[in-house]
């Protein structure tokens, strides 16, 4: 659903990291709306101040490398 916003982040990650290192940014419609110290702070600002509807914007922490946006899930189950 937020494919456009995520693609924008990937295409601009290097420059965004330079200007917003370790901050959480709000991305909507290929635009950045500020940077914040915490994810919660960014979400509340987007929802309450910018009046964005939840699910229509991306909050992304600006760090270098693909580890920043990749998650690995490990299962404690063995499938036979």
- pLDDT value for 75: 61
Taking the domains of the chain in order of start, what are their residue ranges? 3-65
3-state class (DSSP) for residue 20: helix
pLDDT higher than 70, residue 79: no
What does pLDDT average to over the chain? Answer: 90
Q: Worst-scoring range by mean pLDDT, 9-13, 22-26, 36-40, 76-80?
A: 76-80
pLDDT band per the 50, 70, 90 thresholds, residue 10 = very high
Mean pLDDT, residues 42-71: 92
- How far is Cα 25 from Cα 1, in angstroms, rounded to an integer? 18
- Using alpha carbons, list the distances in angstroms from residue 70 to 18, 24, 73: 20, 16, 10
In sequence order, which ranges of 1-80 are alpha helices (DSSP H)? 3-20, 39-44
- How far is Cα 71 from Cα 32, in angstroms, rounded to an integer? 23
Listed in sequence order, the residues at least 6 apart from 56 whose beta carbon sits closer than 8 Å to its beta carbon are: 2, 28
């Amino acid at each position: 659903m937020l494919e456009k916003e995520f693609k924008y982040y990937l295409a601009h990650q290097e420059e965004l990291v330079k200007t917003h290192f370790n901050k959480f940014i709000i991305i909507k419609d290929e635009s950045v709306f500020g940077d914040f110290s915490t994810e919660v702070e960014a979400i509340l600002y987007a929802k309450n101040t910018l009046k964005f509807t939840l699910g229509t914007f991306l909050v992304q922490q600006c760090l270098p490398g693909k580890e920043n946006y990749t998650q690995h899930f490990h299962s404690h189950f063995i499938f036979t």
